[in-house]
Structure formats: C-alpha cells, structure tokens
C-alpha cells in the first residue's frame, strides 16, 4: 500500500478529480506532468499513490458501467442518452433503479418497464420515471401501484426526493 504523500496545493490528486474527469489523459500522464513541474523527493511513492487512485477510478467506473448495463437489460429506455446522463449525474439513484424491477415483477408480474426522463424547462426540473406498462383494469392497476408504493417506494422516498418516481400506464 502506498504511503500518504504531501504535494503542493496546486496538485489535485483527489480521487474525485479523476472520477469526474472523462478524459483519462490527465490520469495516465499525471506522474509525468508532476515530475516536469516539481522536484520530487520520492517519485516511486508518488507513482504508487497515483496507481492506487487509478485502480479506484477503474473500480468506480466499472461499477457504473455494470450498473448501467444492468439497467439497459431491465428497462426499455425511452431516451437512452439523456437517461444515462441523468443517472450518472444522480448516481445515488442507480441502486434504487436497479432494485425496482425485482419489486415490480413480484407485484405486477413480468411486464414491460420503461425509464423516461421528464423535463420541465419552465420550472427547471428533471425527474426520472419508471413507467410500468400493463393490461390490468384501472382498479387493479391502482391497487398494484399502492402495493408497490407500500412495499418499496415509501422506503426510498426520502433518499430519491423528486428525482425518481413511478407510474403504471396501460399498454
């Protein structure tokens, strides 16, 4: 394990910097850039530290890649690019979106499940909707929606706020 090191304040080696940077050029060449800019007492220690960050970044990226892949298998994405971008921007929603089909399938049976991103530019909000499409009569659909709410959604409402919701719609 690499030892903690101290570098000048201008050198941002925080994992979040790398995780949010879509261009991995900075990460791959960080040691080279640092060596050009600073005289390092222990370059090997810096390299080990950067490799640890890189490993964390790969794990982090792999987690989201796998999570989004699972979402694509479980849902029909209405506007795939926008939905994925929204989920990456609100990545705390990903586990809830991934667990929803289990509850939905248990309560509604195996039905088509859509993910739709709704925008309201006038009110300046976005909300991701899990849309459950069924052939149930309205009374039965409402009954099942209430059951899904009681068994699942009520437990996550405080965590998802107004960023995630669900609705049943007829096929």
- CA distances (Å), origin 9, targets 47, 75, 100, 134: 18, 45, 43, 57
Q: Give the whole-angstrom CA distance, residue 39 versus residue 90.
A: 40
Question: 92, 74, 90: which is closest to 131 by C-alpha?
Answer: 74
Return the SS3 of 5: coil
The pLDDT of residue 83: 94
Of 3.30.300, 2.60.120, 3.30.450, 2.60.40, the CATH number of 76-170 is 3.30.300
Where are the domains positioned within the chain?
Answer: 1-74, 76-170
At residue 162, φ and ψ (nearest 5 deg) are -100, 25
**pTM, rounded to two decimals:** 0.66
The pLDDT of residue 15: 39
- pLDDT per residue as tens, the chain (171 positions): 333 444 444 444 443 333 333 333 333 345 455 555 555 566 666 655 555 555 555 555 677 888 888 999 999 998 898 999 999 889 999 999 999 999 999 999 999 999 999 998 888 889 999 999 999 999 999 999 999 999 999 999 999 999 999 999 999
The pLDDT of residue 116: 97
The pLDDT of residue 63: 77
Question: 90, 95, 85, 16: which is closest to 63 by C-alpha?
Answer: 95
The pLDDT of residue 58: 53
Cβ atoms 43, 2 nearer than 8 A? no
The pLDDT of residue 21: 37
The pLDDT of residue 65: 80
């Amino acid at each position: 394990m690499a030892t903690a090191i101290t570098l000048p304040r201008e050198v941002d080696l925080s994992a979040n910097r790398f995780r949010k940077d879509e261009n991995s050029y900075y990460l791959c060449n960080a040691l080279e850039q640092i060596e050009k800019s600073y005289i390092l007492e222990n370059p090997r220690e810096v390299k080990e530290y950067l490799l640890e960050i890189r490993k964390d970044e790969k794990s982090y990226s792999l987690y989201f890649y796998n999570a989004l892949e699972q979402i694509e298998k479980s849902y029909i994405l209405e506007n795939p690019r926008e939905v994925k971008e929204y989920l990456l921007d609100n990545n705390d929603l990903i586990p809830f979106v991934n667990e929803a089909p289990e509850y939905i399938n248990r309560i509604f049976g195996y039905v088509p499940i859509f993910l739709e991103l709704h925008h309201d530019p006038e009110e300046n909000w976005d909300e991701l909707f899990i849309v459950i499409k069924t052939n149930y009569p309205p009374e039965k659909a409402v009954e099942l929606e209430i059951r899904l709410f009681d068994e699942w959604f009520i437990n996550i409402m405080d965590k998802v706020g107004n960023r995630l919701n669900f609705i049943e719609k007829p096929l």
